[in-house]
Amino acid sequence: MSRLLRSSLVHAAFGFLLMGGWTLWANHAHGLVWGAAIAQGLLSAGLTALLKKTLERLDGRFSGLVALALPPAITASAILATLTIVHQLIGTPELLATIAFPWTMSTLYAIAYNARLVADRRKTAP
């Protein structure tokens, strides 16, 4: 069971369903906006993997408080821009409601995961 919970595919599928479902709910007054829901699901799955890799690549490039703050700020900004542009291009009716939850969750994930990376690196430093 623990192997299943660590699976990137399981995480991507969960993100797809959760954030795609959120998009359907956020736009429910406009009917079933399947295009926006599928787009958000795919974005969530892909951006989560990219977010994780980016934080890992940035780990160790900064020190002090900058190491804690800058990597999540970089990824949060990039994800906000990506979500905004994609949903504007496809005409998602409730833009702010649609992107608020996935952006907040990805930013919180980035802060927590980056903090763990920094803490792990500090533990192993001479």
Banded model confidence at residue 124, pLDDT cuts 50, 70, 90? confident
In this prediction, residue 2 carries a pLDDT of 72
In this prediction, residue 1 carries a pLDDT of 64
In this prediction, residue 35 carries a pLDDT of 93
DSSP state of 60: T
- Kindly report, residue by residue over 6-52, the tens digit of the pLDDT: 677 887 888 899 999 999 999 999 988 999 999 999 999 999 888 98
pLDDT over 70 at 56, yes or no: yes
- Kindly report, residue by residue over 66-120, the tens digit of the pLDDT: 999 999 999 999 999 999 999 999 999 999 999 999 999 999 999 999 999 999 9
Structure tokens at 51: 């977010």
Does an H or E element contain 110, and which? Answer: helix 95-124
pLDDT over 70 at 5, yes or no: no
Structure tokens at 98: 């649609």
In this prediction, residue 13 carries a pLDDT of 86
Structure tokens at 81: 């821009």
In this prediction, residue 55 carries a pLDDT of 94
